[in-house]
Amino acid sequence: KQIARLKEPSLKCVDLVVMELCNVVRLCTDKMARYP
């Protein structure tokens, strides 16, 4: 039961981390595109 209760917030946390990583990657690619 405890695992099920922890599952929901941890999944949200993973989603947030993935979104942050995507944002960072996009920013990096934008900067790279600016300096060929």
Q: What range does the domain containing 29 cover?
A: 1-36
What is the C-alpha separation between 36 and 16, in angstroms, rounded? 31
Which pLDDT score is estimated for 4?
83
pTM over 0.85: no
Confidence of residue 6 (pLDDT cuts 50, 70, 90): confident
Which pLDDT score is estimated for 5?
85
Output phi, psi for 35, to 5 deg: -115, 85
What is the C-alpha separation between 29 and 23, in angstroms, rounded? 10
pLDDT at 1 over 90: no
pLDDT tens track for 10-33:
999 999 999 999 999 999 999 999
* Total residues belonging to the chain: 36
| Number of compact structural domains in the chain | 1
